[in-house]
Chain A
Amino acid sequence: MTALPPALIHVRRGMVTLFARRFLDHRLAVASAVVLALLALLAVAAPVAEWALGVDANAVSLAARFLPPSATHPLGTDELGRDLLARLLYGGRVSLIVGLAAALASAVIGTVIGLAAGYYGGKLDIVLMRLTDGVIALPLLPLLIVLAAVDLTKIGLPEALARDADVSLYRMVAIIALVSWTTVARLVRGATLSVREREFVLAATACGAGPLRIMTVHILPNVVSPIIVATTLSVGNVILLESVLSFLGLGIQPPIASWGNMLTGAQELIWSAPELVFWPGALIFLTVIAFNFLGDGLQDALDPRAIAR
């Protein structure tokens, strides 16, 4: 890059600083970013923690059930004698991965739908927006329960694959993405409608650029802010959905730990070991609220005029 004249460096930096300053003003968002970074770090470090403590997150030991917190088990053990801390860390891994993956997948779906509806307009727009409104209007949880309960062997998947625990992960991502793209689609459509009228889009059309090029090269880069905001906000929702489905036994399947499925047997534990009930839910709560604050802060910083959700 060529050296910029000082005045121009100032302009460039000015925009970045403005964003940074508005974001840093949002103290909750900054705190949330820190919390999320820590959680991600801990989730990544789960095997390290396991090794350091000398425990195995999946090793069942009936002799070690409901142990109180100790040096080896900082948070004690669960009803099957597994180390609670190690399981929480692994559970965080799953919740974060599923949350981010499903949010990204829904961002992709929503972006494609929003771009097409906003750019082409007319009949396609009407159809796509009716579809979006329709999905928003549905009672999603009951339908998700049905989707999650579908027997994969009945749609031709081999038995072994259908029962595989890893497949339950992909499946969660897929069905959650299928219902969570609506926010992104609406925001992208709105932004596309206004960018579409900007002169540089007309200029590209006048040059002979086709719809695909217009949408990907000219509109998409100018609608990233709403995509980022909507995606961040939807991570929280996605994690909530994953946790409730896993809690109901329809999501992530044991032995893979997720914060949701760690609570599956919780109703029996409320008398004997309430602290086992507390931790997984508290972590879901913390993660979701952090993503929501982060999204809120990004929204304020990227587009101060947008009204709150």
Chain B
Amino acid sequence: MNGTPLLRVEGLTRHFPLGHGLFGRRAGRVHALTELSFTLATGRTLALVGESGCGKTTAARAIAGLYRPDAGRVLFKGSDLAGLPRRARKDARRAMQMVFQDPFGSLNPRLTVGAIVGEPLVIHRVGTRAERRARVDDVMRGVGLDPRDGQRYPHEFSGGQRQRIAIARALVIEPDLIIADEPLSALDVSIQSQVLNLMKDLQEARGLAFLFITHDLAVVDTFADEVAVMYLGRLVELAPRDRLFAAPRHPYTRTLMAAVPVPGRGKRAPGSIPAGEVPSPITPPPGCPFHPRCPRALPVCRAEMPELEDDGGGSFVACHNPEPPPAFMPAGNIR
């Protein structure tokens, strides 16, 4: 693969300051996201997984430019969004759209569905009013909504329909990348697969790239090309999907897979459900953030933060004592 990747994230960090303590002392920072790095190519899907509170939403929002990062940068089609002048940044935003976690919160209750779906077109001054209408109708049909519903308000729709509205809004301007923050978590299981299939179809039809955030490994299995696993704000493992499922190398990935049965992959992967509580992101433990819960922890894990390293087989893992690599490589990871 050559040329600039569609999306390149380098050392992205966001630590939320906590409110001021008594007498103006700073009370600390939430280490929501620390040094996240990865690349995503055109037309592919990267799944970002991890337990609730590990910084997935923060990552998505920092990448979309909604949070100012404390360190690191986001290169979209080779240029740093934060460094662009206002106009150019607005243009860049055209090609990067977002679907939020909560389909109830992410639609303005005072706008009609038609206005919501068509808003990106209005913001970027695309077409005439009539052309925009036609485009909105098209997209609504594309996601399985009745264009006549454009006159109605969000509260008249079910969660699944709302998420379709949100997806239609992300699609209407024909972006190259969609950042989807747990788009299925608020939906019923039956509707989840519908929406997931919709996104898969769209990807095939339009060559869209997805940054797909989820805590559900079953979903990852059907949709992702690559998987990034986060723990306490840090990337701990980044691997092609099949490789990750066949042979997770980070002990955390392993326990995560043990906790979730993966349909179609036979029995649960061996390993134990992690013991103990997730440490607070305000006072992350020294060394590897996972060491207090890690079955394979060594003394060095307590002191030193492991670097994310290429294991030579297409995976990156941040661990002093990773699981052994698989005996053979599944075919899926060869690009």
The answer to whether A and B touch directly, with their CB atoms under 8 angstroms apart, is yes
Q: Tell me the minimal C-beta distance from A252 to chain B in angstroms.
A: 39
Interface string of A195-231 (1 = CB under 8 A from B): 0001110111111111001000110011000000000
CB distance from B187 to the nearest CB of A (A): 16
Decide: B155 and A11 in contact? CB cutoff 8 A: yes
| A to B contact number (C-beta, < 8 Å) | 74
Q: Please, which residue of chain A has its CB at the minimum distance from the CB of B64?
A: A206
**B94 at interface, CB cutoff 8 A:** yes
Q: Which of B13-21, B96-104, B249-257, B279-287 contacts A (4 or more CB under 8 A)?
A: B96-104
Closest to A222 in B: B110
Q: B29 an interface residue at 8 Å Cβ cutoff?
A: no
B108 touches A222 (CB 8 A): yes
B149 touches A2 (CB 8 A): yes
- A207–B123 CB distance below 8 A: yes
Pick the contact of A208 from B108, B109, B124, B156 — CB < 8 Å? B124
- Nearest-Cβ distance from residue A195 to partner chain B, whole angstroms: 10
Best-buried of A4, A207, A221 by chain B (most CB within 10 Å): A207
Given A206-B98, A208-B93, A213-B123, the answer on whether A8 and B156 have CB atoms closer than 8 Å is: yes
Contact of A202 with B120 at beta-carbon distance under 8 Å, contacts A2-B149, A221-B110 already known: no
Interface string of A3-32 (1 = CB under 8 A from B): 010001001100100000000000000000
CB distance A11 to B98 under 8 Å? no
Please, how many angstroms separate the alpha-carbon atoms of A15 and B156 in the complex?
11
User: Contacts of B149 on A, CB cut-off 8 Å?
Assistant: 2
* Contact of A203 with B151 at beta-carbon distance under 8 Å, contacts A198-B105, A208-B120 already known: no
Cross-chain contact A12 with B105 (CB below 8 angstroms): no
With A and B bound together, what is the CA distance between A12 and B152 in angstroms? 10
Nearest CB on A from B14, distance (A): 15
> Shortest CB–CB separation between residue A197 and chain B, in angstroms?
10
State whether the Cβ of A52 lies closer than 8 Å to any Cβ in chain B. no
How many angstroms between the C-alpha atoms of A213 and B125 in the bound complex? 13
Inter-chain contact B100/A217, CB cutoff 8 Å: no
> For B65, B101, B110, which residue has the most chain A Cβ atoms within 10 angstroms?
B110
Chain A, 270-299, contact with B by CB distance < 8 Å: what is the 0/1 string? 000000000000000000000000000000
Establish whether residues B66 and A199, one from each chain, have CB atoms under 8 Å apart when the complex forms. Answer: no
Chain B residues within 8 Å of A71, by CB? none
**Partner of B120 from A15, A207, A217 at Cβ < 8 Å:** A207
Q: A308 within 8 Å of B by Cβ?
A: no
Asked whether A1 is an interface residue with its Cβ less than 8 Å from the other chain, the reply is yes
CB distance from A36 to the nearest CB of B (A): 27
Q: Which residues of B sit under 8 angstroms from A206, Cβ to Cβ?
A: 64-66, 93, 96-98
Contact check, B120 vs A200: say whether CB atoms are below 8 A apart.
Answer: no
A304 CA / B151 CA spacing, docked (Å): 29
In the assembled complex, the Cα of A281 lies from the Cα of B45 at a distance in Å of 73
Interface secondary structure of A, over-half rule: helix
Q: Does B51 contact A (CB under 8 A)?
A: no
Smallest distance from the beta carbon of A165 to chain B beta carbons, Å? 42
| Contact in complex: B123, A199 (CB < 8 Å) | no
Q: Using Cβ atoms and an 8 Å threshold, which residues of chain A touch B64? A: 206
From residue A217, how far is it (CB to closest CB) to chain B in Å? 7
CB-contacts of B47-86 with A (<8 A): 61, 64-66
Residue contact A199 to B148, C-beta cutoff 8 Å: no
Q: How long is the Cα–Cα vector from A208 to B101 in the complex, in angstroms?
A: 19
Chain A residues whose CB sits within 8 angstroms of the CB of B110 once the complex forms: 221-222
Contact (Cβ within 8 A) B93 A207: yes
Known interface pairs A207-B119, A207-B120; A199-B106 also in contact (CB < 8 Å)? yes
The smallest beta-carbon distance between A1 and chain B, in angstroms, is: 5
Of residues 109 through 142 on chain A, the ones whose CB sits less than 8 Å from some CB of chain B are none
Give the contacts of A30-77 with B (CB-CB under 8 A).
none
Taking the complex as formed, is B90 at the interface, i.e. its CB lies under 8 A from any CB of chain A? yes
Q: How far is the CB of A303 from chain B (nearest CB, A)?
A: 15
Residue of B nearest to A203 (CB): B106
Could you tell me the distance between the alpha carbons of A162 and B111 in the complex, rounded to whole angstroms? 46
A173 CB to closest chain B CB (Å) equals 30
Q: Does B107 sit within 8 A of A, measured CB to CB? A: yes
Separation in Å of the B293 CB from the closest CB of chain A? 31
The answer to whether B151 touches A2 (Cβ under 8 A) is: yes
Distance (Å) between the CB of B52 and the closest chain A CB? Answer: 17
B residues near A (Cβ < 8 Å) are 61, 64-66, 89-90, 93-94, 96-98, 100-102, 105-111, 119-120, 123-124, 148-149, 151-152, 155-156, 166, 169, 173
Q: Could you list 21 examples of A-B contacts with CB < 8 Å?
A: A2-B148, A2-B151, A11-B156, A12-B155, A199-B101, A199-B102, A200-B105, A200-B108, A202-B106, A203-B98, A203-B106, A205-B66, A206-B64, A206-B98, A207-B97, A208-B120, A208-B124, A210-B90, A218-B108, A221-B108, A221-B111
- Other than the given A8-B156, A218-B108, 18 more pairs (CB < 8 A) read A2-B149, A2-B152, A12-B155, A198-B105, A199-B100, A199-B101, A202-B100, A205-B66, A207-B97, A207-B120, A207-B123, A208-B93, A208-B94, A208-B123, A209-B119, A209-B123, A217-B108, A221-B111
Write the residues of chain A forming the contact surface with B, with a CB cutoff of 8 angstroms: 1-2, 4, 8, 11-12, 15, 198-200, 202-210, 213, 217-218, 221-222
